[in-house]
Structure 1
Amino acid sequence: MLEIILYAVGFFICTIFLQWLLHKVRKNHNQGSSAIWVGTGAIIVICVIGLMTKNINYFVAILGFIIGDEVGKQAGWQ
């Protein structure tokens, strides 16, 4: 159970950090269709990695990613 929580919290923190970092590095151009580490494209990649590694924890990580993605939208980082 702890491993599941760590995956969700870990992906949440990584998502928030990467969106903030890319927002700063790309000078507010981490938006629209050229955005990196946001939206359904990243969710699909996480799902594929989970299927390839047969690790169910990646599907729990999607929840952390989605929450982090929404926080990034609210903060204006994407």
Structure 2
Amino acid sequence: MWLLMENKMSLMIIGATGAGKTTALNAIACLIRPSHKIISVEEVAEINLPHENWTSTIARSGFGVEGEGEITL
């Protein structure tokens, strides 16, 4: 993971419920340089990273015409 961050590559943390994704992300986030960008996409907002360059996005259902405006994972 360190090599991915050093080479400015993307990293995805995925897994089943209760697998420790949030715990792993919180630990890894402490190693990320402040100049690097973090983007999280969640169905339910659970992550709260102490990182100045972090953007959080939440998936949502569409509205109006079926399927329009939907943001999924």
Whichever structure has more strand as a proportion of its residues is 2
Check whether TM > 0.5: no
Give the number of the structure with larger relative contact order, counting CA–CA contacts within 8 Å between residues 6 or more apart.
1
Please state which structure has a larger fraction of its residues in helix.
1
TM-score normalised to the size of structure 1? 0.29
Name which one, 1 or 2, has greater alpha-carbon Rg: 2
